[in-house]
Amino acid sequence: MGKFQVVTHPLIQHKLTILRQTSTGTKAFRDLVNEIAMLLGYEISRDLPLEDIEIETPITKSIQKTLAGKKLAIVPILRAGIGMVDGILSLVPAAKVGHIGMYRDEETLQPVEYLVKLPEDIDQRQIFVVDPMLATGGSAILAIDSLKKRGAGAANIKFVCLVAAPEGVKALQEAHPDIDIYTAALDEKLNEHGYIVPGLGDAGDRLFGTK
């Protein structure tokens, strides 16, 4: 079974509390999503491999550590996942970015895939799939199905969100027991419309000001 981790750093909890509030406007919401994504990025990159290189300081030659150059891809689930990309890119600027477009049918709550555009060598990359919300889990499950169909290695996939519902975590773990899941918060439940309670509302609409 992959890892499931709630990342409870005080800065993350503080920023998430502001993010949740109705009174937080679009610009602040966008900034906070990126800031929290960056803080999560610190945790999800913890096991990136290092290698030794020889460098020269003003004093002497020395053997030091550097990232082993493992290829990374950040894959946001559109639309709301886009809000997390820059925060993570600020830590790993050389990462490639793929996109998976998906929306939830508001009646059936079933995800519908409308776009997949990935780096050609996605099968050789460590992949961070990002989406602020893990609600029923349908979107995350379908996005990861899509990646695996294109050769992405399960051991190389981490799903990263800001707010998760227990129902979504369970569904994602059942469908893809081999991936790691990171979230900034594990909330109480879903309501009858498939929204996370207490949650933060519709992440896409709040990020892009569409409602």
Q: Tokens in use for 124?
A: 């050789």
Nearer to ligand URA, 119 or 194 (CB): 194
- Preceding peptide of 93 cis, ω within 30°: no
Listed ranges 50-58, 61-69, 85-93, 97-105: which one lies at the site for ligand PRP (CB under 6 A): 97-105
Q: Is 86 in the site for ligand URA (CB under 6 A)?
A: no
20 noted as active-site residue: no
Binding flag, residue 168, ligand URA (CB under 6 A): no
Determine contact, residues 21/74, Cβ cutoff 8 Å. no
| By CB under 6 A, residue 195 contacts ligand URA | yes
Tell me if 171 contacts ligand URA by CB under 6 A.
no
- From the list 6-14, 31-39, 62-70, 195-203, the region that binds ligand URA by CB under 6 A is 195-203
Of 178, 146, 177, 179, which is closest to residue 161 (Cα–Cα)? 179
Residue closer to ligand URA by CB (options 97, 135) is 135
Q: Which residues pair with 186 in a beta bridge?
A: 164
Concerning whether 145 is annotated as a catalytic residue, the answer is no
72-78 and 4-6: which strand pairing?
unpaired
Query: Could you tell me which residues are beta bridge partners of residue 74?
Result: 97, 128
Among 76, 87, 98, 138, binds ligand PRP (CB under 6 A): 138
The per-residue b/e assignment along 106-131, b for 16 or more CB within 10 angstroms, e otherwise, is eeeeebeeeebebbeebeebbbbbbb
φ, ψ dihedrals at 48, nearest 5°: -65, 135
108 catalytic residue (yes or no): yes
Which of 15, 79, 158, 206 touches ligand PRP by CB under 6 A? 79
With CB under 6 A as the contact rule, the residue among 74, 129, 135, 184 that binds ligand URA is: 135
Site for ligand URA, rule CB under 6 A: 133, 135, 194-196, 199, 202-204
